[in-house]
Amino acid sequence: MTIEDTAADAPVRPSNIVIVGGGTAGWMTAAYLKAAFADRITITLVESAEVRTIGVGEATFSDIRHFFEFLRLEEHDWMPACNATYKLAVRFEDWREPGHHFYHPFEQLKSVDGFQLTDWWLRNPGSDRFDKDCFVMASLCDANRSPRYLDGSLIDQDFVEKPHQGGPSRSTIVDYQGAQFPYAYHFEARLLAQFLTKYATDRGVRHVVDNVVDVGLDERGWVSHVRTAEHGVLAGDLFVDCTGFRGLLLNKALGEPFVSYQDTLPNDSAVALQVPLDMDREPMRPCTTATAQAAGWIWTIPLISRIGTGYVYARDYCEPEEAERVLREFVGPTAAEVEANHIRMRIGRSERSWVNNCVAIGLSSGFVEPLESTGIFFIHHAVEQLVKYFPGGDWDPNLRTLYNRSVAHVTDGVREFLCLHYRGAKRADNQYWRDAQTRTVPDALEERLELWRTKVPDAMTVYPYYHGLPPYSYNCILLGTGGIPVRPSPGLELADERAALSEFQQIKAKAQKLVQELPTQNAFFARMRAS
Ligand code: FAD
């Protein structure tokens, strides 16, 4: 097929897909589409050897397990190859005040007599740790426990989510009453991309290493081809833009506007380090840690043999040199020889992620700061939606509309959730944190915040479209950050609290039992590496 043919023809059912970009987004997309459509599509993935991938993106949501399931991969197939570890929660340090911490775990909040446990806890707090009183996982995190026993079996089935109904969009069907899968993963993004390169090329994906130097459009403004420096023209029916913050096809060639979230989420920069970890000596936390700093926060992600760490900050409040100095001081001497990676972040989303025959997935579609590890979740969600709304021969525009709505809801919903972290943070020790308490938030969140002062978040009052975060997540951040006064429901004053007190006792007993029984993360992964 020549370019001229493609330009002149009406669009056809896409079976020839060109993916531009070989970062996490490009390879996750290639692997997932191959798993979904096998040889009924052809895929070419072109990536530049000169333009580096972002190289971070190491903590995930627990929904990521559906991605690996979809690819028919077991943990032992991919975890060792990606230096992966378990993640039970995000641990927030110093967001309320120095020395304070709380967890946002992968564990649904129980309800008793129609009221969430957080409601009951507000009526009669058993301790100053809502997270330990309401969730088992918080105790496991404090004790550095693995969610699996040394023989590989999982902690009890109460924690395992009920099977989803339906097709490929399994993770988008949320059952608020169901249990939550108890963990997600940390992994090396670079190694995951390598692993998926092999997975996808073994299944027939053509891999071209070259620079895309031009994007060709036909007379209707549809992408007809990309031109590479050394491999000539790559023509296709459907083009997936995975070029990262550049947005080479969607934003640059097609001119789709980017909607910035900068007014509500000002952190626009990061500096990252990869620090060696001696697993025989240093305890390994089974969680991502987000430690509040003077102009943002530092992530700490324990992997096999190294720690991924970085300072996410706002340039309006902190220079890159200062951010790097703070990060190195935070990490200590192990960071001395390690090179820093400075990253400028584009925060927000493309107005539409799918325009004509071009779909942007990954950073080219949208991104919010990685405070809740949502970047890879966005990619996973997007590629699930692409399969769900994959076009037919008539390229029905409704499919694009539905896709764009779904992707926009996820990004906008996560933005609201992140804004809550800053509005909620009690610390007000400098201008950055004082501004955080008064900064604009989306109007709908402002209304929700008003409601949450009276009644902690539930399914009625959180962002109403699927965005990966159930109401219990909002409860954790609201109660953990501590800056927004909340009160127990007045009706609870009249209720019999014995059943709730019994539930708190059961959580405590279960946590104690599991802390005694389960191995530490270090012990679990030492065993896994030895076998
Ligand atoms: P990139 O990695 O930037 O890849 C772009 C690709 O496009 C590269 O292969 C490049 O070579 C190619 N390319 C560009 N131009 C051309 C061209 N002209 N020709 C050919 N190829 C080209 N997500 C999480 O889920 N958890 C986290 O903990 C997390 N932490 C993060 C921390 C930071 C500081 C940042 C910035 C992001 C983080 N993310 C995280 C997000 C995550 O890193 C990204 O979602 C993920 O890496 C996907 O990146 P990408 O593939 O879209 O883009």
Among candidates 184, 206, 198, which has minimal Cα distance to 77? 198
Counting from 1 in the atom list of ligand 1, the atom nearest the Cα of 301 is: 28
Report CA 84 to chain centroid distance, whole Å: 16
Tokens of 202: 């073994």
pLDDT at 257: 98
Ligand 1 contact via 296 beta carbon (within 6 Å): no
> The dihedral of CA 43, 191, 195, 269: what is its sign?
negative
DSSP helix/strand/coil, 388: helix
pLDDT at 10: 54
Tokens of 388: 């769900």
Q: pTM for the complete prediction?
A: 0.94
Counting from 1 in the atom list of ligand 1, the atom nearest the Cα of 363 is: 52
pLDDT at 187: 96
How far apart are the C-alpha atoms of 47 and 18, rounded to whole Å?
Answer: 11
Ligand 1 contact via 274 beta carbon (within 6 Å): no
Burial-class residue 52 by CB neighbours within 10 Å (0-12, 13-18, 19+): exposed
Per-residue pLDDT of 507-528, as tens digits, reads 999 999 999 999 999 999 998 8
Out of 44, 45, 53, mutate this one to test ligand 1's pocket (max ligand atoms within 8 Å of CB): namely: 53
Distances 353 to 251, 431, 467, 471 between C-alpha atoms, Å: 9, 35, 16, 27
Ligand 1 contact via 243 beta carbon (within 6 Å): yes
Task: Show Cβ contacts of residue 495 under 8 Å, excluding neighbours closer than 6 positions.
Answer: 113, 115
Ligand 1 contact via 212 beta carbon (within 6 Å): yes
Ligand 1 contact via 88 beta carbon (within 6 Å): no
Out of 185, 214, 251, 363, mutate this one to test ligand 1's pocket (max ligand atoms within 8 Å of CB): namely: 363
- Ligand 1: distance of its center to the CA of 242 in Å? 8
How far apart are the C-alpha atoms of 352 and 278, rounded to whole Å?
Answer: 45
Ligand 1 contact via 376 beta carbon (within 6 Å): yes
E strand segments, 78-166: 85-87, 89-93, 101-105, 111-112, 115-116
DSSP helix/strand/coil, 198: helix
- pLDDT tens per residue, the chain (531 residues)? 444 444 445 556 889 999 999 999 999 999 999 999 999 999 999 999 999 999 887 999 988 999 999 999 999 999 999 999 999 999 999 999 999 999 999 998 999 999 999 999 999 998 999 999 999 999 999 999 999 999 998 887 666 655 444 333 333 333 334 567 889 999 999 999 999 999 999 999 999 999 999 999 999 999 999 999 999 999 999 999 999 999 999 999 999 999 999 999 999 999 999 999 988 889 999 999 999 999 999 999 999 989 999 999 999 999 999 999 999 999 999 999 999 999 999 999 999 999 999 999 999 999 999 999 999 999 999 999 999 999 999 999 999 999 999 999 999 999 999 999 999 999 999 999 999 999 999 999 999 999 999 999 999 999 999 999 999 999 999 999 999 999 999 999 999 999 999 999 999 999 999 999 999 999 999 988 887
Residue 164 carries which side chain, given as an amino acid letter?
H
How far apart are the C-alpha atoms of 49 and 52, rounded to whole Å?
Answer: 7
Among protein residues, the one with the nearest Cα to ligand 1's atom 14 is 243
Task: Show Cβ contacts of residue 153 under 8 Å, excluding neighbours closer than 6 positions.
Answer: none
Distances 91 to 137, 182, 290, 343 between C-alpha atoms, Å: 11, 15, 6, 23
- Ligand 1: distance of its center to the CA of 114 in Å? 43
- Ligand 1: distance of its center to the CA of 286 in Å? 25
Report CA 234 to chain centroid distance, whole Å: 32
Among candidates 250, 222, 220, 253, which has minimal Cα distance to 236? 222
- Ligand 1: distance of its center to the CA of 324 in Å? 21
Tokens of 107: 């564990």
Long-range (24+ apart) CB contacts under 8 A made by 247-251 are 247/350, 247/360, 247/364, 248/20, 248/212, 248/215, 248/364, 249/20, 249/215, 249/223, 249/358, 249/360, 249/364, 250/350, 250/353, 250/355, 250/358, 250/359, 250/360, 250/364, 250/365, 251/350, 251/360, 251/364
Q: Give catalytic status of residue 34 as yes or no.
A: no
Long-range (24+ apart) CB contacts under 8 A made by 180-183 are 180/62, 180/106, 180/107, 180/108, 180/470, 181/62, 181/65, 181/106, 182/62, 182/88, 182/106, 182/107, 182/137, 182/147, 182/154, 182/155, 183/62, 183/86, 183/87, 183/88, 183/106, 183/147, 183/286
How far apart are the C-alpha atoms of 395 and 278, rounded to whole Å?
Answer: 54
Among candidates 195, 254, 252, which has minimal Cα distance to 224? 254
pLDDT at 3: 44
pLDDT at 158: 64
Q: How many residues comprise the chain?
A: 531
Counting from 1 in the atom list of ligand 1, the atom nearest the Cα of 21 is: 7
Alpha-carbon Rg for the chain, nearest whole angstrom, is 23
DSSP helix/strand/coil, 214: strand
Angle separating helix axes 397-424 and 375-388, nearest 10 degrees: 160
Helix, strand and coil content of the chain, in percent to the nearest 5, comes to 40, 20, 40
Task: Show Cβ contacts of residue 391 under 8 Å, excluding neighbours closer than 6 positions.
Answer: 13, 14, 238, 399, 400
pLDDT at 11: 52
How far apart are the C-alpha atoms of 381 and 377, rounded to whole Å?
Answer: 6
How far apart are the C-alpha atoms of 167 and 291, rounded to whole Å?
Answer: 38
Out of 50, 54, 63, 410, mutate this one to test ligand 1's pocket (max ligand atoms within 8 Å of CB): namely: 54
Given 87, 110, 132, 455, which residue is catalytic?
87
